[in-house]
Amino acid sequence: MKRLLAVLLLLVAGQLQAADFDYRLAAVPVAKDVYTFIGKTEDFTTGNGGNIVNTAFIVAPQGVIVIDSGPSLRYGEQMRRAIAAVTAKPIALVINTHHHPDHFLGNQAFADVPIAALAETRDGIAADGNAFAENLYRMSGDWMKGTEVQLPGQTLSAGIVDVAGRRLRLVALDGHTGADLVVVDATSGVVFAGDLAFNGRAPTTPHADVAHWLKALDRLEGLTREAGFTVLLPGHGAPSADAGPIRQTRAWLTWLSAAMRDAAKAGLDMNEVLARPLPAEFASLPVAASEYRRSVGHLFPAAELQALGAKP
């Protein structure tokens, strides 16, 4: 009976924990004055509330630079409180690396400060933001309560910028989406790779151009070879002191695009492509099976067009 009660109590406690909508964000230092909040290497669920993404901030001389704002209003608010626990400096700028919802739907919590992104990212958020948010409501449930799209008000372009007394190098790439911003913090040597790099989690491809992405990975790997490089922060998965996540992402994309091409050439129907087993190299990678299935939907039709000799 006691054991039963204990189990019941645990169940209730578990419910409470899920119901308090606390992401339990903990700022992890990756370099001097540079911190990250590490998300889980999972899919969006009502359990994780969409905390599957890495966000970050730099404590600059005159203020805080935030890189990506997370999947919801609640996340943005909690992130802001967690930043305030580290530094009393005001937020100087929020940067959205690309137009995927887990990277910008926390913007509302920063509506009183400048929010900036590449032009194509701003356009993407304006065009697809609401549909993305609706989809996250479906997948993450009440964690999303009150979340609405807050457009970045400022446009970034590639080059060296000075933000709050810190020199940042903005590198405009593409391939994961139509515009993927990489931020290089020269002072700390941290490279914020956004979703061009995944670490220990299968990459997502809903807006991917794989050929462009592979080119972007070469540029990104070049950045990790520059003098002063210390840490690569991927959009998903653990930070890395080397180009490991870039190589992982490249290996997945190279295999994936070859698999689509070969399947189309062999005359497979889409359901047969979906049913193919993953190679041993990738089978144990978190969410590999579900991302593979999604990627077949995203990438197989183009491979099929080519195999059938159709004009794109």
Partner 1 sequence: MKYPLTIAAIALAALMPPAEAAALRESGDPLDSARWSEMQKAFLAGAPVLFDPRVKVIAPSTAENPMQVPVTVDASALPGGAEVVVFADFNPIVQVLRFFPEGAPAFLGFRVKLQQSTPVRAAVRTADGVWHVGGTWVNTVGGGCTAPSAAGGSKEWQQRLNEVSGRQWSEGPNAGRLRMRIVHPMDTGLVAGTPAFFLEEINFADAAGKRLMRVQTYEPVSENPVFTLQRTSADGPVEATGRDNNGNAFTARIDQ
As measured in angstroms, the least distance from the Cβ of 52 to partner 1 is 17
- Select from 92, 120, 93 the least CA-distant residue to 181: 120
Query: Is 168 strand, coil or helix?
Result: strand
Exposed, middle or buried by CB within 10 Å (0-12, 13-18, 19+), for 200?
middle
| Binding region for partner 1 (CB under 8 A) out of 5-13, 52-60, 74-82, 260-268 | 260-268
Determine the size of the site formed for partner 1 (CB under 8 A).
24
198 forms bridges with which residues in the sheet? 236
CA distance 205 to 100: 11
Q: Report the amino acid identity of residue 37.
A: F
> Which residue number, 185 or 291, has a Cβ lying nearer to partner 1?
291
Selected from 9, 160, 211, 305, the binder of partner 1 by CB under 8 A is 305
As measured in angstroms, the least distance from the Cβ of 305 to partner 1 is 7
> Which residue number, 242 or 272, has a Cβ lying nearer to partner 1?
272
- Select from 157, 144, 193, 175 the least CA-distant residue to 36: 193
> Which residue number, 5 or 310, has a Cβ lying nearer to partner 1?
310
- Select from 29, 30, 42, 31 the least CA-distant residue to 71: 42
- Select from 148, 47, 56, 44 the least CA-distant residue to 96: 56
Selected from 2, 3, 225, 311, the binder of partner 1 by CB under 8 A is 311
As measured in angstroms, the least distance from the Cβ of 13 to partner 1 is 31
> Which residue number, 37 or 300, has a Cβ lying nearer to partner 1?
300
CA distance 72 to 51: 9
As measured in angstroms, the least distance from the Cβ of 295 to partner 1 is 9
Site string for partner 1, 266-285 (x = CB under 8 A): xxxxxxx-xx----------
Q: Does 310 bind partner 1 (CB under 8 A)?
A: yes
Considering only residues 81 through 140, tell me which ones interact with partner 1, judged by CB under 8 A: 135, 138
67 forms bridges with which residues in the sheet? 56, 95
Distances (CA, A) of 105 to 12, 92, 142, 204, 277: 30, 18, 14, 18, 35
> Which residue number, 82 or 268, has a Cβ lying nearer to partner 1?
268
Site string for partner 1, 137-156 (x = CB under 8 A): -x------------------
| Binding region for partner 1 (CB under 8 A) out of 155-163, 193-201, 218-226, 264-272 | 264-272
CA distance 233 to 241: 9
CA distance 128 to 149: 10
> Which residue number, 11 or 266, has a Cβ lying nearer to partner 1?
266
As measured in angstroms, the least distance from the Cβ of 138 to partner 1 is 6
As measured in angstroms, the least distance from the Cβ of 137 to partner 1 is 11
How many CA atoms are closer than 13 Å to the CA of 238, on its beta-carbon side? Answer: 6
As measured in angstroms, the least distance from the Cβ of 132 to partner 1 is 12
CA distance 66 to 35: 10
| Binding region for partner 1 (CB under 8 A) out of 1-9, 23-31, 149-157, 298-306 | 298-306
Residues that bind partner 1 (CB under 8 A): 135, 138, 266-272, 274-275, 293-294, 296-298, 301, 304-305, 307-311
